[in-house]
Amino acid sequence: MTITRVEKLIYGVENMKAGGNYFRDWGVTEVESGPEQTVFRTRTNQTIELRLADDPSLPPSPDPAKSTLRRAVWGVRDADGLKEMSEDLAHDREVTELDGVLCFADESGNGLGLMLEAPIETDVEIVPHNVNTTEPRMNAVINPAAQANPIRIGHVVYMIEMADREKAVSFYLDRLRFRLSDSTKTGGDFMRCEGGHDHHNLFLVSRADRNAFDHASFEVENFDMVMIGGKFMKEKGWDQDTTPGRHILGSNYYWYFKNPAGGRTEYFADMDRMDDNWKPRIWDDSPGFALWTVDDATS
């Protein structure tokens, strides 16, 4: 059993129109639109489904917000692994099958799923960077018409109650075989999929008394695309939740926006990559949220 990536995010929303408009402006590709369900895909074939918050097929959520992420479905590399995982999970929790997804809940009550991965290759343009006498972008200009079209969903983040932290994190590490990348005593635990290299595909933020979905993060090509995507969202009237910056843990460029479908979304680029040679870092004090931020890049 090897989990490789986020395969599908299922939101329950109070306002389908607002949720659909938000993800349309975010730049993911719309594949289905209706009053009860709207569906988007990333360029690597991950699905974002919006359903009405009172849809009976949706699992409960510990998040008090009415519009929120109701199920995060993780992609598994092969059918044997999926079966092995299902049998293991059934020892101590209910596992049901729905539309090809094995459905269950984590230790905090967040709806989860497992399904076979179905990635699609996509061409990613690497824009060369000129510096001093190194001139890889000779006679080529930066495209002034570029628009963000997220390549993939990189990670999801939940806030979890501090008292339940050890149990919550152990479930992902021991049962779903995530790897720990960084852990801060006052902040939380950054974990990556067994079959992936991102610094984190999952971050559990430890809070005093709160279980809630926090954000989903979408990779774009580079820093320019983080800024171009965010600038477009602001022009469309969506509210930013942070200014742009660069994280310390994970090192990725970021820009967060408030999502009417639930929580926040983040554009990210250039995250640290780790394999099993990486030794998890345990921090007594968090090294901080950002290497740098700007007050407002678009005013």
**CB 221, min distance to Fe ion, A:** 17
**CB 166, min distance to Fe ion, A:** 22
Specify the residue, 47 or 217, whose C-beta has the smaller distance to Fe ion.
217
**CB 216, min distance to Fe ion, A:** 8
User: Would you tell me which residues interact with Fe ion (CB under 5 A)?
Assistant: 217, 266
Residue 71: is it exposed, middle or buried by C-beta count within 10 angstroms (0-12/13-18/19+)?
buried
**CB 157, min distance to Fe ion, A:** 6
Specify the residue, 38 or 184, whose C-beta has the smaller distance to Fe ion.
184
Closest CA to 9 of 179, 202, 231: 202
Specify the residue, 37 or 293, whose C-beta has the smaller distance to Fe ion.
293
Specify the residue, 16 or 269, whose C-beta has the smaller distance to Fe ion.
269
Encode 210-227: b = buried (16+ Cβ within 10 Å), e = exposed. bbbbbbbbbbbbbbbbbb
Specify the residue, 51 or 199, whose C-beta has the smaller distance to Fe ion.
199
Specify the residue, 14 or 241, whose C-beta has the smaller distance to Fe ion.
241
**CB 215, min distance to Fe ion, A:** 6
CA separation for the pair 165, 155 (Å, rounded): 19
**CB 86, min distance to Fe ion, A:** 29
**CB 286, min distance to Fe ion, A:** 15
**CB 266, min distance to Fe ion, A:** 5
Say what angle helices 16-26 and 223-235 make with each other, to 10 degrees.
140
Q: Are 147 and 236 in contact, with CB atoms under 8 Å apart?
A: no
Q: Are 58 and 112 in contact, with CB atoms under 8 Å apart?
A: no
Specify the residue, 184 or 217, whose C-beta has the smaller distance to Fe ion.
217
Specify the residue, 52 or 290, whose C-beta has the smaller distance to Fe ion.
290
102 forms bridges with which residues in the sheet? 97, 114
